[in-house]
Structure 1
């Protein structure tokens, strides 16, 4: 018998490629050394935020003025988160945000000083008034967007500055309105932790908002209101929601700011403050919660002159340039804004994204958080 011969392979069979079997990639788990390293970094962050301002377990002591600046930084972070709801989520820019902060400040001072109520009741009342004024202004300007909406908020901010804050019964006139701190938290060291606790609360509320149906609707209408409307999303209602939430958060920040200064005056809430709020939010990184907080803290420290003193630049800034250190933020801010628009669309949040991802247990990816499109272009004009 002859052996069976196999036929020669055809060209098609020779070039055929065996199907590849997909192998599921195992989830990344850091090694023991990586876990230890992350734990050390988390402990260092907790030490800087919680222990150092109270002079606990610290080799150096912070003075009262330094701790007061840190309290202001926490308050600015709350205000930054409030503005991020409006600009980052709803895509509407506000140039009169100092009015919402001022209403919250004077309402809280009025409740405590004139009505004799406690601070812990004054803050919710101020938040309620912030939501009410935002709802009223939102109802008036809901048909507008982009530049026209910004002009309405600018006009409202000027109206509040020139008229509302001139009502002596509410603001105390030129002498201002007293706003004592809560009992048990009278010192700057104690009040810092109050501001930090409210920052954590606002952070949590903002996080919960983005995970709800309303938060997802806000993100959809920011991308394209017409497409969102075609999917059954009520554009006006959710824009109003963003405006009210932003007003509530801003009023909370204003209330804390009033009791931080203990005497609040109308001249504190001007257009320069509104401009600073916009700069710190955009430079921090729109829709990036951590970036907005870091940007707000940076501008608070820079605007108070704290960073200039720490870096020993007071002589150069005031002596050589001839610029008061309190105005450095308004000079550096526009430069950082241009860099954000042209080079780093994700702002500070984009820069710290690799570190944040690593600290949360992932691989260190230097491309994490990269944003290709310019964030501020998402604001509809």
Structure 2
């Protein structure tokens, strides 16, 4: 029962008290999957685990993957870490980097230099490469933090070109055109074992990224993306938190570079050109900014397109996609990512602003035990604050 009392200064009497009937609605029932629903979700999770863990090791799999195939999967795991690192910059702070290949390359050559020239073990070389990646990001960020948007992107682009033309040309550091040959760590010499090691690093980076977004600093980063001036008015140090994002992104990228170096028989400076930086940005935006699942899938997709390996698999080979691209229209498979990437970007900006993450949101929520809703995760418009100019 509820009552509306008389105005202040007057005593409420029985006549001045209005008694309203209590209306109690039925509580909204919480959706719970049925037994069959949980079983279906379990099968979906089992299929995903089988694809990620069993297929690369040729366990209970009709496919027969060899060393080259596993090498592409290793590259996919490395690209996932790179995509997550870029998502911190573009997705969380709205700052774009056009020189991310420099951070990956320096991480790769630093790990290779320490192992080949200094004889340092893999387990020490990777953390040192990560520190170097964070330091270079801190130095570059401290110099260019006065700039924002397009100007900051141009600074990162200039740094990427500078790294390609100067640092990667130091023969004592990179080996020059001959490159550096790096061996995999003890116990992980086989491509399959090293793939599982890279998966372990992916899990660690995903966990760190998840923890970051749930800290005070992570919330501050996302406030910067919405509006730096408003965030500053609430006491958030815009420059300090932007630098934090840049350093974190640099650390993740350097770790990915170190893993990339050990996953290849030979790394050369040509592996880290500007077209690689474009692929990194495309896979992150197409995957879906601020959506880890989307970024992971987008990164894997672009990694498997590198060198056209995806179109040489059994699925595409049966319909002759590689023949159609190379012999039909004269497009080398190695150029497919640079052609297909912009097309996917246009489709993302016009039809699915949330990227792959938006498209898989209903399935992801369903697998997490929630009701399937085709409209889940729908994004109507592109947020212009995602890349501030």
Q: TM-score range by the shorter chain?
A: over 0.9
1:81 to 81, 84, 106: 84
Task: Report how far residue 267 of structure 1 moved.
Answer: 1.1
State the shift of 1:19 in Å. 6.8
Partner of residue 176, structure 2: 173
Structure 2 residue aligned with 1:189, among 185, 188, 192?
A: 192
Instruction: For 1:244 and 1:262, locate their aligned partners in 2 and report how far apart those are by CA, in whole Å.
Output: 29
Distance 1:304 1:188 in 2: 18
**Structure 2: runs of 5+ lacking an equivalent:** 1-19
Give the drift of 1:377: 4.6
Corresponding position of 1:140: 143
Partner of 2:361: 353
| Consecutive unaligned residues in structure 1, runs of 5 or more | 1-16
Instruction: Specify the alignment match of 1:6 in structure 2.
Output: none
Shift of 1:323: 1.1
In 2, Cα distance between equivalents of 1:160 and 1:376? 30
Partner of 1:222: 225
1:326 and 2:334 are equivalent in the alignment: yes
Q: Residue 374 of structure 1 aligns with which residue?
A: 382
Give 3-state SS (helix, strand or coil) of 1:263's partner: coil
The alpha-carbon deviation at position 120 of structure 1 amounts to: 1.1
Q: TM-score, normalised by structure 2?
A: 0.92
1:25 aligns with 2:28: yes
Query: Contact 2:141 / 2:246 at 8 angstroms: preserved in 1?
Result: yes
CA distance in 2, matches of 1:44, 1:38: 10
d(CA) in 1 for partners of 2:63 and 2:349? 39
The normalised TM-score by structure 1 is 0.94
Higher mean alpha-carbon deviation, 225-234 vs 297-306, is at: 297-306
Shift of 1:378: 2.3
Residue of structure 2 in register with 1:263 after alignment: 266
Counting matched residue pairs gives 365
Q: CA deviation at 1:371?
A: 1.1
Contact conserved, 1:69 with 1:304, CA < 8 A, in 2?
Answer: no
Cross-structure match for 1:365: 373
Contact map agreement 2:106 2:254 (CA 8 A) in 1: yes
Taking only aligned residues, the RMSD between alpha carbons, in angstroms, comes to: 1.2
Q: 2:137, 2:334 → 1: CA distance?
A: 30
CA shift, 1:26, in A, is 2.2
Taking the TM superposition and a 5 Å limit, the aligned residue runs for 1:199-348 are 199-310=202-313, 311-312=316-317, 313-348=321-356
